Structure 1
């Protein structure tokens, strides 16, 4: 599937998993300028991009998304380096403790919402402020000043089962969807497209890798609830993020695109 993307991409949590795969997906669709951000080094992602797409331009930044000054500075550095910011993927997140409210420590609850909700809000705010200063890439009615995709979850549209009481995580992802909808409605006519991606169970370190859902694994029963009877692949999520950034999704505003192998339809 080709979308012919042009412009500058900004991806948090880009060091591995869905963030890394999304960088590669956007590059396959034509993006040649990236700011890659993570708490840890993004060297591996940058190396893969440079190997597969010679001539690509990459700015690598280590950043904590809960650090307001660092977030604002990262957007400023992106614009200084590339002139603008067109595609933002606010992907950085944590899973948190699998506990009900009565068993959860305040510090853990704050940590999960700090990264998953406040971190997304800080990044989105800095991105919006920049996008409002720039013109659209093309004159097409399907073009925008910028596109933002926020990382939510299927547990942002449903509640987790009693077997997996991920209370803090679900709370943080419901909040991301509310934020996405509110900002999308407010900023659509100003030329900014904002949507959320809602993955189901995907083979990433966030759920302990694919092994946790194999026979006898801690999450085996959750895998069996998926109609496809398998985990998602990071590339399957990344391709959907690329779609949300493309003109193919130009009439999608404030959407929560669920990519979960059918988990939420049962």
Structure 2
């Protein structure tokens, strides 16, 4: 299992939460070269140091990247290819929760920021990943020219429960699903796989908010009535990045403990 993954990966939002744990899981299952990107350089360095402590032979490039800034996104992907020669997996994971307010009470700037990071930011990263991957050698049906994994959400497939207001976030994550599916059709024949992961309630900084008193009740409604450990989502990322998912394209991999079943 340690050799399940090969080659290089770039992960955005890598300073904490799902991004950090995805990097750990990628290293655990065989990735030898990681480009870790985040807009917070000090937190990113702390994350990379913790990963190196567990995997000393891992090659890591730290990239200060704000996914709202096209020049920074382009520079990050270019630096990855310059350092490692190839990009096998791109995990477009950077995101924010956005305002927890009704639409009639939401400021336009808050709406725009959420869409800019959670949807347009994914698009900017996907565009650069595709520009790299279309020019790479096709390594066959199981590996292809590369894989893109977009972090959506169970709220990219459904509405929030009543009482939990996340309209900008939900709209953005539905957009991520549309982006994933549309480009999956276009680039599949070129050996590029594009899929999305749709986590449910997960123990990350985004979910630790005292203003969400209804969250405990909603978590208990799931078929598995608990919050997900971050590494459970990260391990699902490993599956999408590996040859085990080689015939999945444009898919939404739900990792929500069966919450949407209820």
Common fold: TM-score over 0.5? yes
The answer (yes or no) to whether the contact 1:22–1:239 under 8 Å persists in 2 is yes
Quick one: which of 109, 112, 118 aligns to 2:111? 109
The answer (yes or no) to whether the contact 1:3–1:246 under 8 Å persists in 2 is no
What does the per-residue CA deviation read over 1:143-176, in whole Å, with 9 as the maximum and x for residues that have no partner?
A: 2100000010000000112201200000000000
The answer for the alignment partner of 2:71 in structure 1 is: 69
The answer for the alignment partner of 1:87 in structure 2 is: 89
- 1:192 counterpart = 2:192: yes
Taking structure 1 as reference, are residues 3 and 258 closer, same or farther at Cα in structure 2, changes over 3 Å only? farther
In the alignment, the residues of structure 1 paired with residue 108 and residue 211 of structure 2 have an alpha-carbon distance, to the nearest angstrom, of: 27
The answer for the alignment partner of 1:39 in structure 2 is: 39
Q: Which runs of 5+ in 1 are unaligned?
A: none
After superposition, the CA RMSD in angstroms is 1.5
After TM superposition, give the deviation of residue 3 of structure 1 in Å. 5.7
Quick one: which of 210, 213, 226 aligns to 2:222? 226
The answer for the alignment partner of 1:257 in structure 2 is: 253
In the alignment, the residues of structure 1 paired with residue 22 and residue 158 of structure 2 have an alpha-carbon distance, to the nearest angstrom, of: 25
In the alignment, the residues of structure 2 paired with residue 162 and residue 227 of structure 1 have an alpha-carbon distance, to the nearest angstrom, of: 18
In the alignment, the residues of structure 2 paired with residue 200 and residue 221 of structure 1 have an alpha-carbon distance, to the nearest angstrom, of: 14
What does the per-residue CA deviation read over 1:224-257, in whole Å, with 9 as the maximum and x for residues that have no partner?
A: 2222211001000000011001110001000000
The answer for the alignment partner of 1:182 in structure 2 is: 182
Q: Which moved more, 1:16-25 or 1:55-64?
A: 55-64
In the alignment, the residues of structure 2 paired with residue 239 and residue 212 of structure 1 have an alpha-carbon distance, to the nearest angstrom, of: 29
Superposition TM-score, scaled by structure 2 size: 0.95
The answer for the alignment partner of 1:16 in structure 2 is: 16
Secondary structure (helix, strand or coil) at the match of 2:203 reads coil
The answer for the alignment partner of 2:235 in structure 1 is: 239
After TM superposition, give the deviation of residue 219 of structure 1 in Å. 1.7
Stretches of 4+ aligned residues off by more than 3 angstroms: none
Secondary structure (helix, strand or coil) at the match of 1:198 reads strand
In the alignment, the residues of structure 2 paired with residue 61 and residue 127 of structure 1 have an alpha-carbon distance, to the nearest angstrom, of: 15
In the alignment, the residues of structure 2 paired with residue 50 and residue 98 of structure 1 have an alpha-carbon distance, to the nearest angstrom, of: 36
After TM superposition, give the deviation of residue 194 of structure 1 in Å. 0.3
In the alignment, the residues of structure 2 paired with residue 212 and residue 99 of structure 1 have an alpha-carbon distance, to the nearest angstrom, of: 11
In the alignment, the residues of structure 1 paired with residue 211 and residue 241 of structure 2 have an alpha-carbon distance, to the nearest angstrom, of: 32
In the alignment, the residues of structure 2 paired with residue 143 and residue 229 of structure 1 have an alpha-carbon distance, to the nearest angstrom, of: 36
What does the per-residue CA deviation read over 1:91-148, in whole Å, with 9 as the maximum and x for residues that have no partner?
A: 0000011122111111110010000000000000000000011113x3x422210000
In the alignment, the residues of structure 2 paired with residue 212 and residue 55 of structure 1 have an alpha-carbon distance, to the nearest angstrom, of: 42
Which structure 2 residues correspond to residues 163-178 of structure 1 after superposition, within 5 A?
163-178=163-178
Secondary structure (helix, strand or coil) at the match of 1:31 reads coil
After TM superposition, give the deviation of residue 207 of structure 1 in Å. 1.1
What does the per-residue CA deviation read over 1:202-241, in whole Å, with 9 as the maximum and x for residues that have no partner?
A: 01110116x888xxx4522221222221100100000001
The answer for the alignment partner of 2:152 in structure 1 is: 152
Q: Aligned pairs, how many?
A: 260
After TM superposition, give the deviation of residue 55 of structure 1 in Å. 1.8
